[in-house]
Amino acid sequence: MSIEYVVVSEGEQDEPIELPTEEDGSLLLSTISAQFAGASGLKYRAGGRLRGLRLADDRVLPPAEGWAAHHYFCAFPRTDAPTPTPRPRCSDLIVLGLPWKTGEEAVRDYFAAFGELLMVQVKRDTKTGLSKGFGFIKFADYDAQLRALGRRHMIDGRWCDVRIPNSKDGGSAAHRKVFVGRCTESLTADDLREYFGAFGQVTDVFVPKPFRAFSFVTFLDPEVAQSLCGQDHIIKGVSVNISTASPKRERGARSQLLGWGLLEGGAPRVYSWPPDAWQHSAHSAHSAHSTAPPDAKPYLKYE
């Protein structure tokens, strides 16, 4: 095949230049970039659509119909690269509040709707084989993990909570959690989740039961939590105060602080702990919650 010239412009509307092909009929990428710095390939318009040309060993290959059939213009690497933030890895997630009767299969069936599952476990008493009322799951896709962490789950007639377990590394609750003071009884966990969800993904809301005038909100991103500390916010007409989630008085042993995820102790780090209290939420008062079987036992207690 003899050398021919290919009509190439930088953008579709720009003035074209003729570029020489190689003996094998290909167009060297270096020939293109000599004229159009940064170009990474060629494309052309076929009918209404854009078509890209094959690139092999830094050579752009002609379309089946030959070079002469089209005018070409350059493709460039994305510059507005959507922040090549490496996707965070999925962690094991703990599923709390499972009905006694619920086994791996039901848990898998339920969470498969969020994404591919790599692991499902329901923890059981080794002697009796009875479920302990919690289990662990792991997703393949971090987006699935985010979706699962962002809400509660109705499994076999019970509301269940999914959270990051306290026994694995990955981020201490200490910096992801805020204390919300001056709460009134009118502020439900749903209210708080909805309100604070506007600032960043909320992974946990804890509302003490019976009522106490505070709550805890845990975010996925520690920077969101930290940015809110020291502020007063008005939620449903209630002025609440946000501060760091550490007790005003050291009331306990280091082990307790460790337990709340407030100290970075030695070995296993603690986070997203304790769970939220959704028992008061509008959701659980109605709808699916009331479908819980009448013989449902209080969980975490054996008989």
Partner DNA sequence: GTTGAGCGTT
- State in angstroms the smallest separation of the CB of 271 from DNA: 8
173 binds DNA (CB under 7 A): yes
Compute the distance between CA of residue 191 and CA of residue 150 in angstroms, rounded to an integer. 14
Nearest to DNA of 12, 264 (CB atom)? 264
- Candidate list 72, 114, 195, 216; residue touching DNA; CB under 7 A: 216
99 binds DNA (CB under 7 A): no
Long-range contacts of 294-299 (CB under 8 A, 24+ apart): 296/99, 296/157, 296/158, 297/100, 299/97, 299/98, 299/99, 299/100, 299/133, 299/158
243 binds DNA (CB under 7 A): yes
123 binds DNA (CB under 7 A): yes
63 binds DNA (CB under 7 A): no
- Choices 48-56, 82-90, 110-118, 210-218 (CB under 7 A): range interacting with DNA: 210-218
Cα 2 to chain centroid, rounded: 55
Task: Determine the 3-state secondary structure of 46 from DSSP.
Answer: strand
- Candidate list 44, 72, 219, 260; residue touching DNA; CB under 7 A: 260
212 binds DNA (CB under 7 A): yes
- Candidate list 37, 236, 300, 302; residue touching DNA; CB under 7 A: 300
The CA–CA distances, whole Å, from 81 to 37, 78, 84, 85, 209 equal 18, 5, 7, 10, 47
88 binds DNA (CB under 7 A): no
Nearest to DNA of 173, 202 (CB atom)? 173
DSSP 8-state secondary structure symbol assigned to residue 273: -
Task: Determine the 3-state secondary structure of 131 from DSSP.
Answer: strand
**x-marked contacts with DNA along 278-297 as a string, rule CB under 7 A:** -x------------------
- Candidate list 165, 187, 205, 269; residue touching DNA; CB under 7 A: 165
Compute the distance between CA of residue 131 and CA of residue 98 in angstroms, rounded to an integer. 8
The CA–CA distances, whole Å, from 30 to 162, 163, 191 equal 53, 52, 59
**x-marked contacts with DNA along 134-163 as a string, rule CB under 7 A:** x-x------------------------x-x
- Residue 157 · residue 293 · CB < 8 Å: yes
- Residue 49 · residue 35 · CB < 8 Å: no
Nearest to DNA of 21, 166 (CB atom)? 166
- Vertex 175: Cα angle to 171 and 178 (nearest 5): 130
Positions touching DNA (CB under 7 A) are 92, 94, 96-97, 119, 121, 123, 126, 132-134, 136, 161, 163, 165-168, 173, 177, 179, 181-182, 185, 206, 208, 210-214, 216, 241, 243-248, 251, 259-262, 272-277, 279, 299-300
